[in-house]
Structure 1
């Protein structure tokens, strides 16, 4: 049913992936949380089932999971990452061609493991929901 896998190099200890078109070419790209190298990687799609080598972006300590959603209403998907080792959620804004700006970090409970993005308060702005393993909590970061 499937061909043998093709592998692509990532940073150390990839933990989570998301697949979204980040450079507006109508081809799904791969975004990966590289826990051991404190980066997120972006592998752009060539359009023929292959991907370019990853471009990495620095995160806080131990990025564990990623979500990719437009958080600043510019119609460009941004990267949201749960940084387990620093108890933060990072937001990397997309400049529009698949290149991302430096992470802005927001405090969470301890050891955030998972993130989701949805408008929870009906203000038409995406909010971040994070599962905090170390504090046994779920946190909500409302967009202002």
Structure 2
């Protein structure tokens, strides 16, 4: 069975919602490009079936794509907007 639906707030006009473990705890977190708000957000997985409130990071104008990859070789995912 599934738990009841939970709605998470993002900013204006969210684009793309990839998941990746961005904080190294072994749980998939959600990354979102907030196109209308000119920021990217991260919702950390709490481990109990829910996600923490979105933390946002300023970007350039109209971010419409996000990804996570280790671009600097430190074995930690970097967020690419």
Could you state the TM-score of these two structures normalised by the residue count of structure 2? Answer: 0.92
RMSD in angstroms over aligned alpha carbons?
Answer: 1.3
1:52 CA drift (Å): 5.5
- In structure 2, stretches of 5+ residues that fail to align are none
Q: Give the alignment of 1:58-73 within 5 angstroms.
A: 58-73=9-24
> Higher Cα Rg: structure 1 or 2?
1
Q: CA deviation at 1:97?
A: 2.2
2:66 pairs with 1:115: yes
The offset of 1:64, in angstroms, is 1.0
In 2, Cα distance between the equivalents of 1:85 and 1:97? 30
Relative contact order higher in (CA < 8 Å, ≥ 6 apart): 2
Decide which of 55, 60, 77 is 1:104's aligned counterpart. Answer: 55
Normalising by structure 1, report the TM-score: 0.53
How many residue pairs get aligned? The number is 81
**Any gaps of 5 or more consecutive residues in structure 1?**
1-45, 131-144
Runs (4+) of structure 1 moved beyond 4 Å? Answer: none
Partner of 1:93: 44
